[in-house]
Structure 1
Amino acid sequence: MHFVTYAPPPPLGRFVSLLWYYAAPELPDLLERVLPTGSMSLLINLAEDELRSYDGDDPARCRRLGGVAVCGAHAEHFTIDTAEQRLIVGAEFAPGGAFVFFGPETEALGGEHVSLDALWGREAGLVRERVLEAPTPDAKLRALGAALAARLDRSREGDPAVAFALAAFADPRRAYTVGDVTGQLGMPPKRFIRSFTEQVGLTPKRYCRVRRFQQALTSIERGERVSWAGVAAACGYYDQAHFIHDFRAFAGLTPTEYTARRRERNHVPLGG
């Protein structure tokens, strides 16, 4: 396995949190469940000019996309073909960061996978060609970063209220609620929810639920013996039962099943 990451500096780094290259020729050919993160990403399959996604875990319900695709902000798990991870490059957008690249389409992309050519036209194929032509993993990441920087539209930086809310929701010192944020902003809740959803692709309530779920995964990934009651309390769940219910809603698995079956964080093989 060869995994290379690059965190771009500003101004691109304000909107793209990570660029990554992954090569693993020995991966088994099976389906894999991907858990929601609440953020958007861009994927480029370097091995073949196609990406596939599945509704639920049924291989008969396959959606075939071009070799460059956008994964919108999800609040549900979805399924991918593990074979397509054998040689792939990706960009993880910062929460709300995709808006400067996709504008009003960001909300419509929520919960969806879309070929990039449907959004950028012929340029999508040119991005893949430039990344393919780059000779090394580091050069491929630089090529992708340059392509994204060229598309960065600073006039779309969006509502400052959304940036304030995202920073508040990310504050580890306090579990801010949507009501806390709108109260501090002095902003009508409906207007805030509308603006947040347009820029992030999820409603603020759903975004906060996914973020709390991801905090639980962080606790699990520390590798220590897990106390589910302790994880529930640390992540702000009312009790262990609510935590398990929410976890199953996002992962399609109980926390115990996830720890036993995961291949890596957010990825769970479905067979093999």
Structure 2
Amino acid sequence: MNYQTFKPHPDLEALVKCYWTLEVPAEPDAPKQRIIPDGCIEMAFILGDDIKRYTSATSFILQPRAMVLGQIIDPLYIQPTGYVNTFAIRFYPYGFANFVTTPIKELSDKEIPVAILFGNRVSKALERKIVQAKDTGERIEIMEKFLLTAINRKTTIDKIVKTTIDALVSTSGKSPINNILENDLSKRRQLERNFSKQIGISPKQLGKVIRLQAALKMLLGDRSGNLANIAYESEYYDQAHFIRDFKEFTGTTPTAFMKDEHMMLSAVMCRKD
């Protein structure tokens, strides 16, 4: 498995977290991989063989070859059908709303073809350029030109939304929303309305995802499995609270996560993000 990340252009770094590529050789009976929430929206181009996304234990769809994956709350399962070669853009929670007029809440828990969001003609031209590019550097140049053209400068992310997200990120999801808003109920109501439209999930859900991702990095960096220490450092009420939140977003316990081959892709991407 070869997973790499790349920094965006300075004009986009406030909105784009990174570009990333993933290559995995084809293998017979490749296992399913469980993808867990990370609070970000992705635009991905499948350059290799098709990838299945399971809608139930036995049913699946083929993911669009040029798609946007909205915010997810529940883990999802994917499975390659052969050689994996993906180029993608990871947007900050409030990043993608600056490029589209579609309410972000309509993208949640879905793979949306790029053509639906940007139009068939523009999207086909973009996909063709990405596929025909000679390397990742050229793909990034193509994507940055597209994003700098597509950015909707009339879209202004609500100040309270951005302030809340910045506070959640800087504290690894530990700050209670009411503390960030200084217990101002009018701000809380405004935040809830605009968060749904511009981020796709609630402030509380995003805070829990950010805190879980920070705890997951600690878990991956300390294989001693000291869950009590991780819970304390992440400011969960106790170890049971940490395990409960972990299971809510991953579908498994921290101990099982470390042993589960289905979590390999999520683990690799979390370590290097």
Same fold (TM over 0.5): yes
Deviations along 1:31-85, one digit per CA (max 9) or x if unpaired, are 211011111101100125x5542225x231x233431111101111011123477
* SS of aligned partner of 1:238: coil
Match of 1:101 in 2: 99
Cα gap change, 1:4/1:224 in structure 2, threshold over 3 Å: closer, same or farther? closer
Structure 1 segments, 4+ long, off by >6 Å, are none
User: Any idea what the Cα deviations from partners look like across 1:121-171, whole Å, max 9, x if unmatched?
Assistant: 212222211111111222122222222222111221321111111111112
Residue 90 to residue 4, structure 1, CA distance change in 2 (3 Å): same
Distance 1:27 1:102 in 2: 37
Gaps of 5+ in 1: none
Residues 114 and 123, structure 2, Cα contact 8 Å, conserved in 1: yes
Aligned to 2:169: 170
SS at match of 2:95: coil
Alignment partner, residue 54 of structure 1: 54
Q: Deviations over 1:63-119 (max 9, x none)?
A: 334311111011110111234771110000012101001234211112222111121
Indicate if the aligned counterparts of 2:33 and 2:77 stay in contact, CA closer than 8 A.
yes
1:39: which partner in 2? 40
The 5-angstrom pairing of residues 150-189 of structure 1 reads: 150-172=149-171, 175-183=174-182, 187-189=186-188
Of 5-14 and 165-174, deviating more is 165-174
User: Are residues 1:229 and 2:212 paired?
Assistant: no
Give the structure 1 partner of residue 242 of structure 2.
243
Matches of 1:3 and 1:137, distance apart in 2 = 12
Q: 1:172 to 1:188 in 2, by over 3 A?
A: closer
- Structure 2 length-normalised TM: 0.88
Worse overlay, 174-183 or 97-106: 174-183
Distance 1:263 1:12 in 2: 30
Structure 1 counterpart of 2:36, one-letter code? L
Tell me if 1:19 matches 2:40.
Answer: no
Note the aligned Cα RMSD (angstroms): 2.3
CA distance in 2, matches of 1:182, 1:129: 45
Provide the residue aligned with 1:194 in structure 2: 193
- Report if the CA contact (8 A) 1:45-1:85 is conserved: no
**Structure 1 residue 174, shift from structure 2 partner:** 8.4
Deviation at 1:251, TM superposition (A): 0.7
Partner Cα distance (1:159, 1:108) in 2: 18
Distance in 2 of aligned mates of 1:103 and 1:64: 26
Between 143-152 and 191-200, the greater mean CA deviation after superposition: 143-152
Q: 1:146 to 1:4 in 2, by over 3 A?
A: farther
Gaps of 5+ in 2: none
Pick the aligned partner of 2:71 from 73, 91, 99: 73
Deviates more, 1:67-76 or 1:97-106: 97-106
For these two proteins, the number of residue pairs brought into alignment is: 265
> Is the 8 Å Cα contact of residues 71 and 113 (structure 1) preserved in structure 2?
yes
1:52–1:114 CA distance, 2 compared to 1 (3 A) = farther
